[in-house]
Amino acid sequence: MDAPPPMTIPRRSRGIRLAGRWVLLAALLPAAAAAQAPPTASAPLDLPQALAVARRTGPLKRLTEARRQVGLGQVGESTQWLNPTFEWRRENLGSPLLPDIFSTLYLPFDFSGRRFALRQAAAAGRERVTADAVNDLREAELQVARGWLRAALAQGSVDIVAQQYEALREIARVDAERLREGLVSEAVGLRTSLEADRSRVALVAARNEAAAARAELARLIGVADAAPPAVAPLTTPAFPAAPDTADALQAAMMRRPDVQARDAALRESQRRLAAEQRGVLGEVQLQGGTKETGGFMTGQLGLAMPMPVFNRNSGARQRAAGQVSEARVLRDDLRLAVRVTVLRALAHYRDVQGAAADAATFDARGREVARIARLSYREGHVTLTELLDAERAAAEAVQQQLRWAADAWLARLELERALGARLDRDSPLDLPVLAPLPPRP
């Protein structure tokens, strides 16, 4: 933001000349929005770069991959084929009888079709685990985006408060000199000194908050450097046209990975219930081999099947039926939650989009307030205190525009997360592009 030109003040007295210097220094306040952070060893990170680093080294991504491996392993445990068993046995040891030698192979056989149902359940389970992993990655990227926005907002606040402190400190020095000359009252001198001290305390707090935000961002993206990474200045995002409400709800139900995961979990539980219902008969074993007895070699063939007399697998069937009911309740509850989330995110995005034209002019209107106040001061219509208030209002307008830019980014990111898709191809988030929806009847 360009600083306004200095104001010309008639040289009537030494006090007026000092006042002119005071006004010139106070005019620096609206320029806070364009202030840049001190140069660092590494280039400042913007939002796409922060997401790219997080995808490479972020702990949340690695944790998601580890959980995915655990989930796939757990799903595959129930579909493992039982190993065949080979038995070699020699009898009549230590007796005058000829030894009996047995060689038998036991081969499990899925007589009931239970394993086929388990394999179908495993296929749905792998879909569930994969969809959960995608959903976790989306959540991780959203956390990184929020962390970057917090860091950028905190750094922008530091720049604004630093400009305020420098201007107020010089103002306090000038007013102290004017107070010694008797050109201002003691109350005015005390107030400017108090404002400078308050601004210094605010600067210390803002720097600490910015350092904490950068440290949290470094943790989210997996950077272990001693100095947290610097962040690029926060800018206002683009605002693509908001989708129709019905299309947005349809897109969310079709493309959100958490919805897909709940649907797959229901199918998985249903197939596991079918497997437990077929498990009443238990595992059947085919037996075959050779037998050498009395010097003669013969063959053997057998079938082993547990009889469902005492255990009819009732406990496992009851548990599987309860898991089906639980999966159905969780799926229906998630669909309701997604609907509410989409409607809320869509309404917020439209509100932010509608306020974009006004919010984008906060800094320009703040400069106009400061310009009018300086012109009025030159003509003797306002006091120094009133001018100070006008300059502070201009700086607050810049701060408000900075906060609005962060809120605008959050509104867009939340809507993208709610839809499970990008609003356009220029989005920094690596989300699937929203394909055209089929026409509604």
State pLDDT tens for residues 288-316: 999 888 778 999 899 888 888 888 888 98
Give the confidence band of 243 by pLDDT, cuts at 50, 70, 90.
confident
Environment class of 302 (CB within 10 Å of its CB; exposed 0-12, middle 13-18, buried 19+): exposed
Strand partners, 405: none
Give the separation between CA 96 and CA 190, rounded to whole angstroms: 120
pLDDT at 270: 95
pLDDT at 13: 41
Task: For domain 14-419, give its CATH number from 3.10.580.10, 1.20.1600.10, 2.40.160.40, 3.40.47.10.
Answer: 1.20.1600.10
Give the separation between CA 179 and CA 65, rounded to whole angstroms: 67
Radius of gyration of the chain (CA): 37
pLDDT at 441: 38
Q: Which residue has the higher pLDDT, 78 or 343?
A: 343
- Least Cα distance to 382 among 31, 26, 28 occurs for 26
Give the separation between CA 158 and CA 166, rounded to whole angstroms: 12
Angle between helices 114-180 and 384-419 (to 10 degrees): 170
Token look-up 């639980």 returns 326
pLDDT at 88: 93
Give the separation between CA 334 and CA 327, rounded to whole angstroms: 10
Give the separation between CA 214 and CA 206, rounded to whole angstroms: 12
Whole-structure pTM value: 0.75
pLDDT reading at 28 higher than 90: no
Give the CA count within 13 Å in the CB-facing half-sphere of 340: 6
3-class DSSP state of 9: coil
pLDDT reading at 25 higher than 70: no
pLDDT at 42: 60
Written in H, E and C, the secondary structure of 359-378 is: HCCHHHHHHHHHHHHHHHHH
pLDDT at 131: 93
Give the confidence band of 149 by pLDDT, cuts at 50, 70, 90.
very high
pLDDT reading at 32 higher than 60: no
Strand partners, 289: 104, 300
Give the separation between CA 133 and CA 130, rounded to whole angstroms: 5
pLDDT at 2: 41
Give the separation between CA 406 and CA 403, rounded to whole angstroms: 5
Q: Which residue has the higher pLDDT, 152 or 366?
A: 152
Helix (H) or strand (E) holding 296: strand 296-304
Q: What is the pLDDT of residues 342-354, one digit of tens each?
A: 999 999 999 988 8
pLDDT at 184: 66
pLDDT reading at 161 higher than 80: yes
Q: What is the pLDDT of residues 182-197, one digit of tens each?
A: 766 777 778 778 878 8
Mean pLDDT across the stretch 311-327? Answer: 91
The helix, strand and coil proportions of the chain, stated in percent and rounded to the nearest 5, come to 65, 10, 25
Q: Which residue has the higher pLDDT, 114 or 322?
A: 322
Give the separation between CA 268 and CA 263, rounded to whole angstroms: 9
* Least confident interval from 145-154, 230-239, 330-339: 230-239
Q: What is the pLDDT of residues 199-224, one digit of tens each?
A: 889 999 999 999 999 999 999 998 87
pLDDT at 377: 57
Query: Which one of 8-22, 34-48, 328-342, 424-438 scores highest in mean pLDDT?
Result: 328-342
Residue type, 102: F
- Least Cα distance to 257 among 428, 128, 433 occurs for 128
Structural domain spans, the chain = 14-419
Mean pLDDT across the stretch 65-92? Answer: 89
Q: How far is CA 191 from CA 194, 336, 384, in A?
A: 5, 56, 11
Residue 214 CA to its chain's centroid (Å): 16
Give the separation between CA 73 and CA 80, rounded to whole angstroms: 11
Give the confidence band of 39 by pLDDT, cuts at 50, 70, 90.
very low
- Least Cα distance to 30 among 289, 412, 394, 382 occurs for 394
pLDDT at 24: 37
Helix (H) or strand (E) holding 231: none
